[in-house]
Chains A and B, each alone.
Chain A
Amino acid sequence: MAPPKRQSNRLAGATRSATPKGNVKPKATQSTLAFHGAGGIRKPGAAEPGKDVKDKNAEELSVEVAEPEKEVTEPEEEVATPVELEVESPAVAPEADPTLPPEEAAARAVTDAQIKEFWEGKEKERRAPRVHQEGLSVEEKLCRQWDTDARYGPCMGISRIKRWRRAHGLGLDPPIEVYAILLREQKADKQAYVDKLMSPRAGEEP
């Protein structure tokens, strides 16, 4: 009863706020942020969902936990721009949710400082600094280093996050910081940079 009504309101509100900004992306390619609690029906900013809502979403959670990138979280995204959402994410970062797999919970708990420290560690292993990477953020540098790491298999033909999950499933112990970055990504199934260059759509604008 109540859930469908709230959903329709949300969508209506979403379109209203999206149009002024003029960057309404089509639904099919809409990036999904994997907020764990998303049965699709929760206001961003609502810290504790009501008891009955949680029970209702319990089964959906346990089902959707396996593929968080496929969760439909359109309501949250259409309310704010990507930049604002990134800032918002720590605020809505859920407390330890027992239904999440442990690596995902650990990845969401990783902070920016931790990522920077991990990257510093990687840089110290080299004698010379990396060139041609001045314009990239630490996250992107770490992801590219993750792509070319041969221990976790070929990076072509598989998205970064799927590759991380596969490496984790095979017991190869991939770094949790990379998972943290990948979970915060806008586009859930981002390809490796090399893969993007080799693909037929390499000439398009990112």
Chain B
Amino acid sequence: MADQSIYLQDPSDHEFPVSTRVASTYNPLHTFELPKGEEKGYSQQFADMYFLRLVALKPTVEKIAAEAWAEFELAGEKARQVERVLDVRQGELCWMVGTVFMELPLKPNVLDDLVKEHWIAAPPAREKYISYDDKDKAFLEDESGRLRLTGAHLKSHLLVTGCIVAVMGSENAAGEFEVVDIKFPDLPAQPERWARDLGAKKKKPPLCGKLGIVSGLGVNVDSGDTLLHDLLVEYLLGDIPSPADVSQISRLIIVGNSMDHASPIMSREDFDAAKRTKKFGQDIHDPVPSELLDDFLAQLLPTIPITILPGETDPANVTFPQQPLHPALFPTSRAYINPPTENDPTPNWLDSVSNPWEGDVDGWRFLATSGQPIDDVFRYLPGDDRLVMMEHVLRWRNAAPTAPDTLWSYPFQDKDPFVIKECPHVYLVGNQPRFETAIIQGPAGQTVKLISVPKFKETGMLVLLDMETLEAECVKFEVPEPK
């Protein structure tokens, strides 16, 4: 008989090393959460939002412009400030502050939707709203009126609808304003690291690990293989032996589009496709994507705290700012979320937050969005340099400048939360085409790390941000194709 001692052995007493995960200090802000129930009204107009934005940023821009152009002289003429856009006199060098409005004929038009309904072939989807011809116009607007901006200098600046800028120039014979120079608010004041957590007490801050950032998980039944997701779970749980120390990853932020085709409002393309196939029960909410995501989260949650933002394809409201994903979508992971009615300010291990989101992780101030504002800004500007667009969004001090023009938004009436009041240390944007990082500097010594996170479903990338040095690296998961 063979040696049977190798079979049926008692559990060994061998002590395997257990590594504990580094703790994550977390202090979110609720800037973008809308009031619930009756306090959230929709009877107001969007003009209030533009007014609030102008009132919030006009003093800053005026100060910057006054300092910059105090001694400016062109052909012996000094520039003076005019209060209202319509006070401009022809031939006089002056400057004023207002909101930029881009009139682009290729912007979404309800007539296009009608065409799509009545004709068999829909016109091809446009990637950008700019048409590179003379039909695109830029205007400067304030409460008195609008003035068309022209000039060769205009092309050297990136402008989208909704930026508050100071424009200097003079009106020409055609009634258009020829631009000489443009100034925008630039980065706001940046809080110190650990400002909100430690405050005045000079306690020693805890040692921090790394932050895992992933976006565009795209979980759904027919979204292809879930092997990538399983690999991600195993990696984060430490099941895969890897050279990196996974216990250093203290928190995971999922930046949008966790579920694929799960938005209750179908996009135009999906709707047209659905109309042709006429499947029964088409418009009923499909619970499968959220169940799959729930399984994914439930595997991770016992060991790692997660912050999840809704995205364009998630079952959250379509208007910006998107409200947190409701705990009802996560039957198993619900145990780790604070119930929505509880007023406990300390978040639990699964924090479902709004999109965009502002908060403190390990002392650093984060501003994260699931990509919709940057994707919309992309449609207004030539080229595909997302980092430049992200930098401009911060320098315009507006997290969603194109809301409410081409980005659906809630009609704010009391204050516009998209105006960035405190400069973040890290600006995260999810669902972008590539993984890119950059560091930008501000006039008062602010430094912001910009990170554009690619879609996990397509690229398999998990971004790891070292919380001590703010260096970003990425881990790539790949499933090799069978030959």
Contacts and interface: CB of A to CB of B under 8 A. Distances in A.
A166 B414 contact: yes
Contact of A158 (B56, B143, B413): B413
Contact of B44 (A150, A158, A169): A158
Chain B interface, DSSP helix/strand/loop, else mixed: loop
Interface in B50-74: 51-52, 55-56
Most B Cβ at <10 Å: residue of A150, A153, A156 = A153
A156 B47 CA distance: 9
A153 B414 contact: no
A170 interface: yes
Contact of A157 (B43, B143, B144, B415): B43
Interface in B137-175: 143-144
Contact of B48 (A150, A151, A153, A169): A153
Contact of B45 (A157, A162, A166): A157
Contacts of B44: 157-158
A170 B52 contact: yes
A150 B55 CA distance: 12
Nearest to A151: B143
Contact of A154 (B45, B144, B415): B45
Nearest to B413: A158
A69 B230 CA distance: 56
Contacts of B48: 153-154, 157-158
Interface in A151-206: 151, 153-154, 156-158, 162, 166, 169-170, 172
A187 to B, nearest CB: 17
Contacts of B47: 153-154, 156
A180 B377 CA distance: 45
Contacts of A162: 413
Interface residues of B, number: 14
Contacts, number: 33
A153 B412 CA distance: 13
Interface string B390-434: 000000000000000000000001110000000000000000000
Nearest to B51: A153
A169 B414 contact: yes
Contact of A170 (B43, B55, B144): B55
A166 B415 CA distance: 9
B409 to A, nearest CB: 15
Given A158-B413, A166-B414, A169-B414, A153 B55 contact: yes
Contacts of B51: 153-154
Given A150-B143, A150-B144, A170-B52, A156 B45 contact: yes
Interface in A116-169: 150-151, 153-154, 156-158, 162, 166, 169
Given A151-B143, A156-B47, A157-B44, 10 more contacts: A150-B143, A153-B52, A153-B55, A153-B143, A157-B48, A157-B413, A162-B413, A170-B56, A170-B415, A172-B55
7 cross-chain pairs, A with B, having the tightest CB-CB distances, nearest first: A153-B51, A157-B44, A150-B143, A154-B47, A157-B45, A170-B55, A166-B414
9 contacts: A150-B144, A151-B143, A153-B52, A153-B143, A154-B48, A157-B44, A157-B45, A169-B414, A170-B55
